Amino acid sequence: MATFVEGPVRVTVPATSANLGPGFDTLGLALGLRDELVAEVTSGGIEVDVHGHGSDEVPRDESHLVVRAMRMGFRAMGAEPPGFTLACTNAIPHTRGLGSSSAAIVGGLVLARAMVAGGQLLLDDDAIFRLAAGLEGHPDNVAPAMYGGFTIAGHDGTRWFAVQAPVDPRITTVVFVPTDPVSTKVARGLLPAEVPHADAACNAGRAALLVAALAGRPECLLTATEDQLHQDYREEAMPESLALVRSLRADGFPAVVSGAGPTVLVLADVSSVADLLARSPQGWAAHHLAVDQEGARVE
């Protein structure tokens, strides 16, 4: 029978940006903005408290995404607490393309592991990543949420995989977050079933170049972040985002749609941060976010 840790357990998990232009459903980057989850085993039932982004919208029962992920983690370890409290403090905006659902899934799994004595022996980081990718349905956000930094992830026909790659310390990010959300389901629904071979070949080359550019050739980032597969197809759902991407790129900034959007992300040099922040559209929130080299962690 599993033994549970006494007292509260605290986990933080980073925001993430997926795709990064050409790396559709494959490339992801952890960003310096973290949700905090605190849970404690009780004698029965569950109690969920939420503050911050999404607090007026998310459920407070078993359907809450963090609770669902925790249950999955407990089952994987053969452990089931009699009850628990969960408090979520959400810093990551919801439905903005910054990995809020992946943060919830990864955070819930890591939280469940930390609540079980010896949980690290029952469920290692790679197992958590695979569970998270299966629940999310794609690995591009859950990989950096779990491992931190820059990740390349996918499915080999048998199982999910992810590897980390280096990021040059000169590279940072600026994100522009609009007020209106776009759901991932809507954004995916705008993509065609087939794309021209030339577009696919272009993206393959740009994604390969992006790995090298992030590792130590930041002067190549503008070319490396070109995309032919998904951003333009989604324009009707986020016209202002695509207009901002094009405006920034015309001035030499490697701007992309973050994940499914509508947030716009720029892979920036530290020296350009102030100029970029000044270009935020009226009503949007602009943030300078460093690349977070740590994934989900127990505090």
Beta bridge partners of 190: none
How large is the greatest C-alpha to C-alpha distance in the chain, in angstroms? 61
Tell me the binding residues for ATP: 93-103
- Give the residues across from 36 on adjacent strands: 12, 89
Residues making up the annotated binding site are 93-103
CA separation for the pair 160, 154 (Å, rounded): 6
Cis bond upstream, residue 14 (ω within 30): no
Asked if residues 170 and 269 have their Cβ atoms less than 8 Å apart, the reply is yes
Let me know if 297 is exposed, middle or buried by CB neighbors in 10 A (0-12, 13-18, 19+): middle
Please calculate the CA angle 223-227-233 and round it to the nearest 5 degrees: 155
Helix (H), strand (E) counts: the chain: 10, 11
Kindly report the number of other CB atoms within 10 A of residue 5's CB atom.
16
